[in-house]
């Protein structure tokens, strides 16, 4: 089995599990920083970003000395951030409705595209140092933005839970149930 296939499988499994991990851990806020805490588009982006960032421990060990590594990793993260909402809102725009199986398939399509881009960029001829340097900075900005948007989600449709109409941790279903019981 090729490295790219293993990466797609592992990232997909970890991402799928991280969709449920916040509930499984009784709403542990630290776990919630890295897993889905509600059903917003952002939280679904997170469940693809988290395992991709974790996978950096493996692919960094294997490819870290490759002169294109940081560019490949940065592009793979940007693909997740951009492609997830494009597919999600794109199919809804065309079909005029949400289809759960399409949501699930889009997650796996995004992971596959992200890892294929990583694999392609790792294998091309060396690029100039400045692109990897800028990509390294970009990775830190993505991670910083990830933390900021998790703790302080923007009041934007991408961060809004469609079930509770709330954002971030407050958008979790348990808060909807609690407010209905009060």
Q: 3-class SS at 160?
A: strand
Task: Mark out the alpha helices in the chain (DSSP H runs).
Answer: 3-18, 21-24, 29-34, 41-63, 69-95, 100-123, 129-151, 173-181
Give the chain's mean pLDDT. Answer: 91
Q: Which two tokens stand for residue 102?
A: 């399409």
What is the pLDDT confidence band of residue 126, given thresholds at 50, 70 and 90? Answer: confident
- Predicted TM-score of the model (pTM): 0.90
Helix (H, G, I), strand (E, B) or coil at 92: helix
pLDDT at 180: 46
List pLDDT tens digits, range 3-56.
Answer: 999 999 999 999 999 999 999 999 999 999 999 999 999 999 999 999 999 999
Q: What is the structure's pLDDT at 17?
A: 95
8 Å CB contact between 33 and 144: no
Give the closest residue to 171 by CA, choosing from 9, 5, 17, 22: 22
Range from 10-24, 104-118, 161-175 carrying the lowest mean pLDDT: 161-175
CA dihedral 63, 68, 72, 78 (to 10 degrees): 140
pLDDT range class, residue 181, cuts 50, 70, 90: very low
Q: What is the pLDDT of residue 147?
A: 86
Confidence bin at 146 (pLDDT 50/70/90)? confident
59-81 pLDDT, tens digit each: 999 999 999 999 999 999 999 99
In this prediction, residue 175 carries a pLDDT of 58
Q: Is 27 left (phi over 0), alpha (psi -120 to 50) or beta?
A: left
Residue 167 near residue 153 (C-beta atoms within 8 A):
yes
Higher pLDDT: 175 or 1? It is: 1
Task: Examine the pLDDT at 171 and tell me if it is beyond 90.
Answer: no
90/95 Cα distance (integer angstroms): 9
The mean pLDDT of 110-131, rounded to a whole number, is 94
Domains of the chain, by residue range, sit at: 3-181
Is the CB of residue 171 less than 8 Å from the CB of residue 38?
yes
Cβ-contact 118, 60 below 8 angstroms = no
């Amino acid at each position: 089995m090729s490295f790219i296939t293993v990466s797609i499988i592992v990232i997909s499994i970890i991402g799928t599990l991280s969709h449920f991990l916040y509930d499984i851990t009784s709403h542990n806020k630290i776990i919630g920083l890295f897993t889905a805490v509600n059903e917003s588009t952002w939280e679904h982006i997170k469940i693809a970003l988290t395992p991709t960032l974790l996978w950096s421990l493996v692919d960094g060990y294997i490819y870290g000395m490759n002169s294109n590594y940081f560019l490949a990793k940065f592009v793979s993260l940007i693909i997740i951030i951009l492609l997830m909402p494009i597919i999600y809102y794109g199919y809804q725009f065309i079909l005029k409705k949400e289809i759960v199986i399409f949501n699930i398939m889009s997650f796996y399509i995004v992971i596959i595209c992200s890892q294929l881009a990583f694999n392609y960029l790792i294998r091309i001829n060396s690029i100039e140092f400045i692109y990897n340097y800028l990509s390294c900075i970009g990775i830190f900005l993505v991670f910083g933005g990830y933390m900021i948007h998790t703790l302080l989600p923007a009041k934007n449709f991408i961060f809004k839970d469609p079930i509770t109409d709330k954002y971030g941790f407050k958008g979790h279903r348990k808060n909807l149930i609690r407010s209905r019981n009060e």
